[in-house]
Structure 1
């Protein structure tokens, strides 16, 4: 039987697509006096394209935005600082996230997070979702010095939780960095299905977080 359930953050617990769109709309409004020569829709869509689903860090994104729109009244660093300090206020969880975590805790399962990203930025997002208290373990790649798909981070989680790898279940949205990597490390894998991806090597597939509770292994 599974003894621990570990989660990815972006695209798994955090509805990043909705969150980032909400943030960038708010950023434009906050910075409107500096961006008045840039069409709001063009700014938002350019940001989302350059962001590439979160796989491009925002220093590069904002540098390219400032260049693309010839922005002179605000620097890319100021836009980045606003992102770092304000994104937490736009974090939107996927439906039933807390219900799922509460149910898993009730079943006496250990819970953890393994996420790639900057620290403390990712921790701020976890806190913004109001879910930090549910977890026995939080591994954020920048702080750990390793990240997915390196198997070492999955082994580290197993060791710190004192749960064998084959008794750990990992839930994520990325076919390679989450499913393939966790599977190769020895964990049972659950793919939270994401449009545009295929995760053929996942042990289980769900569309919504609450479906996790219906799996026979949990």
Structure 2
């Protein structure tokens, strides 16, 4: 092969663009897949986090509406709040509802607490509340929910995440002024009213 034929062959090779798009696609495909998988996982996690917040709001709101609150109604509240989480797996949610009574000295203590897949607070446990919530001689319903999120694809986000966990407070809507200090509160059936702990 002469130098001129080599030059022509090299020129033809350089000018031949067939298959160039396929080669570019083959190089870009792994990057595109990583971006896509990451986007799916992050979008699902953001949606789950939003649903956990809505679930916590539902727990607080539904618990503050009725007094006295019987045990079967508390189970109904947990079931209704859990439905907010759909289509995510409800087995991974932890929920706690507590009635917190603030005495005349501004000390906040748990009057009653119920849980599903979580840790209920013991009666008389002192709770730290934000200053805007800690009004003497009042009470609040404190709801807390957390969700263990496992990424759907698991290629970019490779571990589980705990979403939520921050308490949401609601004042009783139809509380009863009971207990030794006549503090308006949501009373749980079968549990003495507070502030007598």
User: TM-score with structure 1 length normalisation?
Assistant: 0.25
Whose helix fraction is larger, Structure 1's or Structure 2's?
1
User: TM-score with structure 2 length normalisation?
Assistant: 0.27
Whose strand fraction is larger, Structure 1's or Structure 2's?
2
